[in-house]
Amino acid sequence: MNEFRNLAILSLFLCILSCVSLTHAAPTNEDNLLSPSKKSEPKEDRFKPLHGKIIQAAINKAKDGSVVTIMPGTYALPGPLLLENRSDLTIRFIDVTFKTIDVNESVFQINNCKNINIIDGHFQHFEPLENYECDGPVFSINSSSNIKIMGSEINGCGAIGVSAFKTNKLVVFQCHLHHNTFTALSLNECQNVDINNNLIEHNGQTYNGSDNQYVRFHGNHVVGNKKSYWGNSEYRQLYIKHHIELQEPKIQLLEPKPEK
């Protein structure tokens, strides 16, 4: 009789122990899927086109005469950043890369503006084209005056690094213009342009332009461009007039010696 009673007590003890073990068991894979840990949550995608709206909204909200500071990050938009009919505005980019997704669009477009400063920043198209296909420029500046682009990286992926049309007083200073498939600089019907102290390398060509007045090009480091800028007659005249120092054989103009 005692043996049966002891056996019953042992069975009850084992049953209780089994229940306690199940209660403290590790959650199943299904439990993990229902309540993911913080480590398994996907990180925010910094390349979403939506992010570029932050910059455009800041520009749109800023009053003329103010300074807009864009904080670090990589931003993108389907189309260009746009400045239109604005004046006396400074935009500072702190460790910022801005990319335009549509290669047929400009990356930064400035229309009918005056007294604009663009400081620092890295500007390019989202997916570069290796060869020129008549795609959009990085900077497109139209019918504007006193525009300064300073300390910026203007990285190819666009046919033209800086394109300007009917613009007066344009300054490109201490920028890095590279891998622009057609040309680093394209100026048409512009005047009073200063291209100073830039690194201009690995572009289709350095300069392309027509009907410009008072273009000054000095202190630039020009290397590795595929097509020589000497093919452009306007650039040649620019060199002769302003004695530009470039990595090309210098032109020496010799006066004819008087006959004895």
pLDDT digits (tens, 9 = 90+) for 4-40: 555 555 555 445 444 444 334 334 333 332 323 333 3
| pLDDT above 60: residue 193 | yes
The pair of structure tokens assigned to 83 is: 């400045």
Q: Give the span between the Cα atoms of 220 and 194, in whole angstroms.
A: 11
Residue 107: pLDDT band with limits 50, 70, 90: very high
pLDDT digits (tens, 9 = 90+) for 125-134: 876 556 555 5
**How do the domains of the chain map onto residue ranges?**
63-242
């260009």: which residue's tokens? 80
Q: Which amino acid is at 243?
A: H
Find the distance separating the first CA and the last CA of the chain, reported in whole Å: 148
The listed CATH number (3.30.1490.190, 2.60.40.10, 3.40.190.10, 2.160.20.10) that belongs to domain 63-242: 2.160.20.10
Residue 107 or 243, more confident: 107
Exposure b/e, 167-185, CB count within 10 A at least 16 = b? bbbbbbbebbbbbbbbbbb
Q: Which of 150-154, 223-227, 238-242 has the lowest mean pLDDT?
A: 238-242
Average pLDDT (160-182) is 95
Q: What is the mean pLDDT of the chain?
A: 75
> Is residue 194 within 8 Å of 173, Cβ to Cβ?
yes
